[in-house]
Amino acid sequence: MGKFQIITHPLIQHKLTILRQTKTGSKDFRELVNEIAMLMGYEVTRELPLEDVEIETPITQTVQKRLSGKKMAIVPILRAGIGMVDGFLSLVPAAKVGHIGMYRDEETLKPVEYLVKLPEDIDQRQIFVVDPMLATGGSAILAIDSLKKRGASNIKFVCLVSAPEGVKALQEAHPDIDIFTAALDEKLNENGYIVPGLGDAGDRLFGTK
């Protein structure tokens, strides 16, 4: 079973509390999502492998460390996932960014994929799928299905707020992936919103209704 980790860093928890509040407007909301994504990026890249490299400083030759593992890809689930990309990219600017878009079918209420645009060598990359909200888990499961269909195997899922229902569904569907969240909330309500949550992350990021 992959790891399930709540990132309890005080800065993340503090910023998340501001993010949740109704009075926080789109500009601050966007900035906070970015900042939290960056802080989470710092935590979720903790175990990236290193290798020795010989370098020359102005003083001497020395052996130091550099990243040795796979190249990275950040894959936001549209729309709200886009809000987390810049924060991640500020830490790993060489990462490529793929996009997976989904809409909810009005009749079945299930997510349907409408866009998949990924780096060509996605099967070779360490992938971070990002979406601020893990609610029912439907979009995350479908996005990861889609990545695995294209040969991807190293996948970590990173969200800000999760519901127990979504975590369980994602773990059951994809037991191999690691899940990182800044908060595990109480439940989903009858409309599929996370309680207490923060409302519709996409609408709050982009100022729509």
Contact predicate 132/160, CB 8 Å: yes
* List 35, 113, 165, 200, residue binding ligand URA (CB under 6 A): 200
46 annotated as belonging to a binding site for a ligand: no
User: Using CB under 6 A, which of 36, 135, 169, 182 touches ligand URA?
Assistant: 135
Handedness of CA 136, 129, 22, 5 (dihedral sign): positive
95 assigned binding-site residue: no
Is residue 197 close enough to count as binding ligand URA by CB under 6 A?
yes
Handedness of CA 145, 204, 40, 81 (dihedral sign): positive
Residues catalogued as catalytic: 104, 108, 200, 203
The Cα–Cα gap between 3 and 122 comes to 22
Tell me, by CB under 6 A, how many residues bind ligand URA.
Answer: 10
Binders in 174-193 for ligand URA, by CB under 6 A:
192-193
CA distance 198 to 128: 22
Closest CA to 119 of 141, 149, 144, 99: 99
Length of the chain counted residue by residue:
209
48-54 — which CB contacts under 8 Å span 24+ positions? 48/126
Alpha carbon separation from 18 to 12, 22, 23, 134 (Å, rounded) = 10, 9, 9, 19
Residues 80-109 that bind ligand URA (CB under 6 A): 80
Name the helix (H) or strand (E) containing 200: none
Per CB under 6 A, the list member of 75, 127, 133, 144 interacting with ligand URA is 133
Residues 51-80 that bind ligand URA (CB under 6 A): 80
Query: In terms of CB distance, is 2 or 202 closer to ligand URA?
Result: 202
101 is in an annotated binding site: no
- Token digits of residue 185: 């909330």
Q: Which of 12, 142, 144, 194 binds ligand URA (CB under 6 A)?
A: 194
The response to whether 133 counts as a known ligand-binding position is yes
Q: Looking at beta carbons only, is 96 or 185 nearer to ligand URA?
A: 185
CB of 136 to ligand URA, least distance (A): 8
Interface residues with ligand URA (CB under 6 A) are 80, 133, 135, 192-194, 197, 200-202
Residue list for the binding site = 79, 104, 131-139, 194, 199-201
